[in-house]
């Protein structure tokens, strides 16, 4: 099956700094990628939809100036957490939609990135 990778798998940063997380579709092209956030023992909350070549669309309540998304190519989307604070500590998961088929577009998930802000 299709593979989605994320880098880094975990990162620790100091409060006030920025952190960039990469999401790559390894063997398919993805015009649409999604960023989710998962708190411990909780569900995945959709943060934003990343569209190749255009601006990301953010879900209600997600600060677009804090969570910068860039989808510069058909295989790469990045999420930058700017001026990170301890409350941004979480598990961030990306997903890429394989639109090569007909009709149904399957979403594949990356392994996630654990962010800890100290």
Partner 1 sequence: AQSVSQHNHHVILSEAASLELGCNYSYGGTVNLFWYVQYPGQHLQLLLKYFSGDPLVKGIKGFEAEFIKSKFSFNLRKPSVQWSDTAEYFCAAYNQGGKLIFGQGTELSVKP
Enumerate binding residues for partner 1 (CB under 8 A). 4, 34, 41-46, 49, 93, 95, 104, 106-107, 109-112
Nearer to partner 1, 19 or 96 (CB): 96
SS3 87: helix
Nearer to partner 1, 12 or 46 (CB): 46
Nearer to partner 1, 44 or 74 (CB): 44
Nearest approach, Cβ of residue 14 and partner 1 (Å): 26
Nearest to 97 by CA among 2, 12, 17, 11: 2
Nearest approach, Cβ of residue 68 and partner 1 (Å): 20
Nearest approach, Cβ of residue 99 and partner 1 (Å): 11
Nearer to partner 1, 35 or 84 (CB): 35
Phi then psi for residue 16, to 5 deg, are: 100, -15
Nearest to 77 by CA among 63, 59, 92, 61: 92
Nearest approach, Cβ of residue 27 and partner 1 (Å): 15
Q: Give residue 37's region: left, alpha or beta (phi > 0; psi -120 to 50).
A: beta
Cβ atoms within 10 Å, residue 17: 12
């Amino acid at each position: 099956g299709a593979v989605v990778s994320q880098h880094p798998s975990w990162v620790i940063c100091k409060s006030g700094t920025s952190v960039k997380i990469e999401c790559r579709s390894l063997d398919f092209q993805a015009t649409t990628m999604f960023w989710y956030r998962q708190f411990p023992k909780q569900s995945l909350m959709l943060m934003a939809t990343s569209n190749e070549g255009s601006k990301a669309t953010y879900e209600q309540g997600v600060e677009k100036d804090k969570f910068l998304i860039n989808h510069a190519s058909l295989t790469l989307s990045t999420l930058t957490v700017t001026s990170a604070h301890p409350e941004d500590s979480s598990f961030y998961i990306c997903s890429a939609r394989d639109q090569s088929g007909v009709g149904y577009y399957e979403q594949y998930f990356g392994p996630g990135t654990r962010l800890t802000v100290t």
